[in-house]
Amino acid sequence: MSNITTTTTKTKTNIAVLVSGRGSNLQAIIDNIESGNIESATIRVIISDVTGAYALERAKKHGIDAVFIDPAGFENKSGYDLKLLNILASYDTGLIVLAGYMRIIGKDIISTYKNRILNIHPTLLPSFKGLHSHKQTLDYGVKVSGCTVHFVDEGMDTGPIILQSCVPVLENDTEDSLSERILEQEHRIYPQAIKLFIEGKLKVEGRIVRVSK
């Protein structure tokens, strides 16, 4: 009797994570990949525009390449973006994940990686886009907030929405306490959205993202 073994080679999606700070979302994503919850993906590189960002330390602890690109080393934004594009290409990047990355992603990167760039924002978009989200949330007096994972388009926090999660805004909330409550949800839904992407379960129709089971 012949013994036939079929081997399927699953190609892993190479992820590049762009960061500027502490990287708690990055950590949640690393943990989900290491535990096998997100399969068929590997984080190839962490890129920061801030030297000494703690996220870079996290990368090193997990044996992931950590790259600092100094914005001061470029005359203009297109020079910086070109450098970024080259690094992304050199890692054969299939998905870009923005995790607390504080720079606007340039048009060339967006068109090269159309519907392959994800971001997380700590409000229920389209409310309170941009900076100081928790302050905006508290100042406005909304009773419910949360976080949103979305595809990145050319606008600021305007791309098609993939997942959202709600949290209550409490009477005595400070920016810190609200942020802490929202972060818990961020760490849950960001890996979940990445998993859906990797599994090919997200379909973008205009600004609607269809999520298949």
- 121 carries an active-site annotation: yes
Residue with tokens 């406005």: 140
Q: Could you say whether residue 25 binds ligand GRF (CB under 6 A)?
A: yes
From residue 171 to residue 210, what is the string marking binding to ligand GRF with x (rule CB under 6 A)? Answer: ---------------x------------------------
Q: By three-state DSSP, how is residue 174 classified?
A: coil
Q: How far from the centroid of its chain's Cα atoms is residue 193's Cα? A: 9
Q: Is 52 exposed, middle or buried (0-12, 13-18, 19+ CB in 10 A)?
A: exposed
Minimal distance, residue 98 CB to ligand GRF, in Å = 7
Q: Could you say whether residue 122 binds ligand GRF (CB under 6 A)?
A: yes
Please choose, out of 1-9, 35-43, 114-122, 155-163, the segment that lies near ligand GRF by the rule CB under 6 A. 114-122
Give the helix/strand (H/E) hosting 166. strand 161-168
Minimal distance, residue 50 CB to ligand GRF, in Å = 10
Q: Amino acid letter at 118?
A: L
Structure tokens at 165: 């999660």
Q: Could you say whether residue 22 binds ligand GRF (CB under 6 A)?
A: yes
Residue 22 has phi, psi (to 5 degrees) of -75, -30
Structure tokens at 188: 């849950």
* Residue 61 burial (CB count, 10 A): 11
Contact predicate 44/16, CB 8 Å: yes
Q: Could you say whether residue 120 binds ligand GRF (CB under 6 A)?
A: yes
Minimal distance, residue 93 CB to ligand GRF, in Å = 19
Please choose, out of 17-25, 80-88, 157-165, 166-174, the segment that lies near ligand GRF by the rule CB under 6 A. 17-25
Nearer to ligand GRF, 25 or 32 (CB): 25
Q: By three-state DSSP, how is residue 172 classified?
A: coil
Contact predicate 70/98, CB 8 Å: no
Q: Binder to ligand GRF among 121, 145, 146, 163 (CB under 6 A)?
A: 121
Q: Could you say whether residue 146 binds ligand GRF (CB under 6 A)?
A: no
Minimal distance, residue 91 CB to ligand GRF, in Å = 20
**Site for ligand GRF, rule CB under 6 A:** 21-26, 99-100, 120-122, 147, 186
